């Protein structure tokens, strides 16, 4: 399973990459801004897109909307965000498949993703 991870904090992206590869057994590609994320998502084949909400150039929500508008068969999108207000969370769940609050526990990240994907399937 190929995952695109868009996260601007290099430390967090390393931790998430290790967690997803070693614990989840996924194949992870990391990009660090919104535009790169949108390009990657549209040009390469991924099974899941993990988007940080706060990113340079384009925020996660916009990336998701553009992606869904342009891609004929969009893959599930999961947001990562420190925003915890109900209105924010509703926006994430309306636009994407789900939402994982930050800071996340790298030990549980693959499980959280699996649980969210299970809900879709």
Partner 1 sequence: MKSIRVRLFILLSLFAGTTLTLSWVTYSSFKALMDSRRQLELSYTIRDEVEQVGALKPGTELYRRMQSYGPLLQPDRRRQELTDMLQAAAGNHAAQLNVRHKTFVKNEAEYQRFMREEMNYLESKLLYYGSLALFTMLFGFVALQLFISRSVVRPLHVLSRKMVDFLHDRYTYQFHVPSNDEVGQMQATFNSLAQRVISNMEQLKTLDQAKSEFLSIASHELRTPLTSIKGSLSLMRTGVVGKMNEMADNLLTIAENETDRLIRLINDILDLAKIEARKLPLHQDWHSFTDLVKTSLDSLQGLAGQADVHLQCDSMPAMEAYMDSDRVQQVLTNLLSNAIKFSPAGQTVHVQCEINDRNELLVTVRDHGRGIAPEDQEAIFQKFRQATSVSNPLVKGTGLGLAIAKALVDQHGGMIGVRSTPGEGSSFYFTLPEWRYNQQRPALPGTEKVA
Could you give the angle at which helices 60-70 and 86-95 cross, rounded to 10 degrees? 20
Q: For partner 1, give the closer residue by CB, 10 or 71.
A: 10
Q: What is the DSSP string of 28-96?
A: EEEE-SHHHHHHHHHHS--SEEEEESS-SSS-HHHHHHHHHHH-SSPPPEEEEES---HHHHHHHHHHS
Binding map of partner 1 across residues 14-53, x = CB under 8 A, - = no contact: -x--xx--xx------------------------------
Considering the complex, what minimum distance in angstroms separates the CB of residue 25 from partner 1?
Answer: 11
Binding map of partner 1 across residues 67-106, x = CB under 8 A, - = no contact: -----------------------------------xxxxx
Q: How many chain residues interact with partner 1 (CB under 8 A)?
A: 14
């Amino acid at each position: 399973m190929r995952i695109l991870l868009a996260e601007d904090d290099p430390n967090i992206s390393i931790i998430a990459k290790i967690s997803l590869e070693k614990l989840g057994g996924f194949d992870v590609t990391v990009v660090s801004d919104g535009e790169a994320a949108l390009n990657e998502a549209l040009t390469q084949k991924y099974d899941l897109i993990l988007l940080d909400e706060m990113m340079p150039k384009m925020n996660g929500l916009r990336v998701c909307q553009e992606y869904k508008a342009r891609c004929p068969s969009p893959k599930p999108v999961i947001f990562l965000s420190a925003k915890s207000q109900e209105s924010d969370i509703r926006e994430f769940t309306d636009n994407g498949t789900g939402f994982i609050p930050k800071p996340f526990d790298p030990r549980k990240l693959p499980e959280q993703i699996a649980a969210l994907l299970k809900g879709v399937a």
